[in-house]
Structure 1
Amino acid sequence: MFFRKKKEDVLIGLDIGSSCLKIAQVNTSREPYELGLFGMAMLPREVISEGVISDRSALVGAIKELLAKTKVGGGDVAIGLSGHSSVIVKRITLPQMSAQDLSLSIKFEAEQYIPFDISDVNIDFQILGPSAHESGQMDVVLVAVKKSLINDYTTVLEEAGLAPAVVDVDAFAIGNVFEANYDVQEYRNVALINIGASKTNINIMQNGVPVFTRDSSTGTNFHTDAIERMMKVSREEAELLKRGESVAGVSKEAVEDVLSSASDEIYAEIYRSFEYFRSSVSDEGLQRILLSGGAAMIKGFPEMMAERLGVDVEVLNPFRNITVSEKAADAVKNAPLAVVAVGLALRRIGDKI
């Protein structure tokens, strides 16, 4: 889902989450790459619900405030979409052909896999390579997004003074960060899992190639809701407790018990995705999980995740090979939250998903 842009230009990466905006810009004209800009701003509840913009004016205002805070006067921007019924990501098998030939026939090929009128969606694809199971066939990642959803987001960007250049998928933006920071040979079979406030993105990579993606509507709001309900505290206090901070009259041990219980549904959803991957794509065991998003900042969550899923868990570091400028220093302490924005900022027109 690409619009206009010269390949050499720098993109602003804007991660529009359900509870928080993150903005990043990466200088890729030098080695190593350098994060030149980063900023965050909280979003009021219900501005975005299940990926749908519920309050356009509030979102435009929040983006404008973040642009002013980070001294961004405008420019070309990449955003990511996920966790919505209007976003379809499928791995499909097709007869072998060139990318040029597939670009001419992709709408016809995609019709059987997309539950919408083909004229109502924007389509992109990436050829993964020859099928390991069928001679003369190739594996392809197909992405389709409803034009109405794209239009909603691009209208907001334009009203905020930005120029939409790339509409990406969060799972693949995370893959960009992985490729820029990790050795594919060392991390040959890895699950990239990003757990935000209201959604979880899973992108399983084998030899640097995305072979399985899935989004679910589970996220760290489960933890906030449970703490608010069980501890009888305000929403703001629940957020503080979730991050490991103290609130008068609330036992830290009790909070840890609530967090553990609330995590179970997230672990169960990820486990189901892993089981589906093993049965439908590959039975090769995962080497490890690279975790990002707000869940990576919850005390004890990565360790408990490793125990529950039986896979080593490491917090994904988007600045392993990317240096951070002084004015973007806040990104280091918020590294797990910066992953999608940084991945979007690494995008270039002409890249395939």
Structure 2
Amino acid sequence: MTGLFGRKAVTALGIDIGSTSVRLVELSRHGAGHRLEAWAMEPLADGAVVRRQIRDPALVGTALARAMARVRIRAASAVVAVCGAAVVTRTLEMEAGLGDEEMHLQLRLEANRHIPYPLEDVAIDFEVRERTAHDPGRVSVFLAACRREHVQSREAALALAGLRARAVDIEPCAIERVYRLLSCRLPPGDAVALLEVDTDMLRLDVLHDGYVCYSREQYFDERLPSDGPRDPAVFMVAESLRALQFFQASGPPQAIGRIWLAGPAATVPGVAPLLQRRSAMATGVVDPFLGMSPDGRSGGRVPAEIAPALLLACGLALGGLR
């Protein structure tokens, strides 16, 4: 992919392209921490993005341009993400000490065994993680791959807004960055279940020891109800419990210590207390900007009802600052 794991920068713009809106976060370095420079959300026209895959780059580009103009973002580039369902990920073991070029060649050979597409149609990137516990001469390497068309559709949408893709990330890596910032406030050892809820889908990521160890998306048969006889909080809690049951049935699970809610629907009234009661786990709504300096342009913090929707965009911007 296009520099999936990024290079260092002083400021960075992260863009989350959802099914119903685009969400932008611009961060800068501020001492040993981070400063929120600007944020924006802009609704998307129906059909522009379907199940988080871009169908009409022009509509997405128009929405991005409107959002950037409203909050005076003048960035020339941005970090975007390919959604989880479009990405194949594997953790492999390689010899320690290999250079990037040599490792990339070996990973392309390995990719033939793990990726169900012709390699000429695939964008590949990798990140070297820790040395393996059983052999200090080998390292764990996180491999990510997707069809090039998913990268190209995002690059096309950015170009129509006057931006280039500084990096094309994957969602689990962006989520991990926010988790690492916030996990210092958690008891050690417990895993966190992050439930990100939009109007048409729910994604569960289970995080442990700094990494996503389980991820699953499920799409709703109908959009999240906003009125009428069906209570949106009851609907969300039922879908969340179903996602947690899938995780528990997937094998010996990590012990989940708490649940975090994120996404545009995270602040639906009554969801957090009802889910806590039904799951018997501590449940709260995530503020990805906790501990950051306030917004440099609008002069205040992101409203509590908006902040959870910006988690992914925040994680993408953090990746651009590395």
TM-score interval for Structure 1 and Structure 2 normalised by the shorter chain: 0.7 to 0.9
Q: In the alignment, what sits opposite 1:118?
A: 119
CA separation in 2, counterparts of 1:6 and 1:141? Answer: 17
Q: In structure 2, what is the equivalent of residue 106 of structure 1?
A: 107
TM-score, normalised on structure 2? 0.85
Q: Which residue of 2 aligns with 1:296?
A: 266
Residue 275 (str. 1) matches residue 277 (str. 2): no
Letter in 1 for 2:152: N
Output the CA distance in 2 between the equivalents of 1:32 and 1:134: 35
The answer to whether the Cα contact below 8 Å between 1:14 and 1:344 also exists between their aligned partners in 2 is yes
Q: C-alpha distance in 2, partners of 1:190/1:67?
A: 33
Does residue 265 (structure 1) correspond to residue 239 (structure 2)? The answer is: yes
Q: Calculate the TM-score normalised by the size of structure 1.
A: 0.78
SS at match of 2:116: coil
2:89 counterpart residue number: 89
- Alignment match, 2:197: 195
Q: Secondary structure at the match of 1:347?
A: helix
Instruction: Indicate the RMSD between aligned Cα atoms, in angstroms.
Output: 2.9
* Residue 17 (str. 1) matches residue 18 (str. 2): yes
Aligned ranges 1:19-98 → 2 under 5 Å: 19-84=20-85, 86-90=86-90, 92-98=91-97
Between stretches 42-51 and 192-201, larger displacement belongs to 192-201
Partner of 1:244: none
Deviates more, 1:167-176 or 1:304-313: 304-313
CA separation in 1, counterparts of 2:35 and 2:188? 23
Q: Determine which structure has the larger helix proportion and give its number.
A: 1
The 1-side partners of 2:121 and 2:104 are apart by 17
CA deviation map 1:5-52 (0-9, x unaligned): 762342111111110111111111434311010111111222100232
Asked if 1:182 corresponds to 2:183, the answer is: yes
Residues 1:300 and 1:72: Cα distance change in structure 2 (over 3 Å): same
Is the Cα contact below 8 Å between 2:15 and 2:24 reproduced in 1?
A: yes
Assess if the C-alpha contact under 8 Å between 1:175 and 1:203 holds in 2: no
Per-residue CA deviation, residues 232-273 of structure 1 (Å, 9 max, x unaligned), is xxxxxx3xx4xxxxxxxx6xxx443x6414642343133203
SS in 2 for 1:112: helix
Partner of 2:209: 207
Q: How does 1:108-147 map to 2 (within 5 A)?
A: 108-130=109-131, 139-147=140-148
* Unmatched tracts of structure 2, length 5 or more: none
Q: Secondary structure at the match of 2:256?
A: coil
Alpha-carbon offset, residue 93 of structure 1: 4.1
Uncovered stretches (5+) of structure 1, i.e. residues with no partner: 228-237, 242-249
Distance 1:46 1:270 in 2: 30
Q: Between the two proteins, what is the percent identity of the paired residues?
A: 21
CA deviations on 1:312-352 (whole Å, 9 max, x unpaired) are: 22222212211222534362331101111111111137x5x
Query: Is 1:338 aligned to 2:310, yes or no?
Result: yes
Q: Which has the higher strand share?
A: 2
- Decide whether the 8 Å contact of 2:195 with 2:240 is kept in 1: no
Contact 1:192 1:205 in 2 (8 A): yes
Task: Please name the residue that 1:231 is paired with.
Answer: none
Contact 1:289 1:314 in 2 (8 A): yes
How much does 1:152 deviate?
Answer: 1.1
- Structure-2 separation of matches of 1:268 and 1:42: 29
Instruction: Give, in angstroms, the shift of residue 306 of structure 1.
Output: 3.1
2 CA distance for matches of 1:324 and 1:285?
35
Report the Cα distance in structure 2 between the residues aligned to 1:136 and 1:30, rounded to whole angstroms: 36
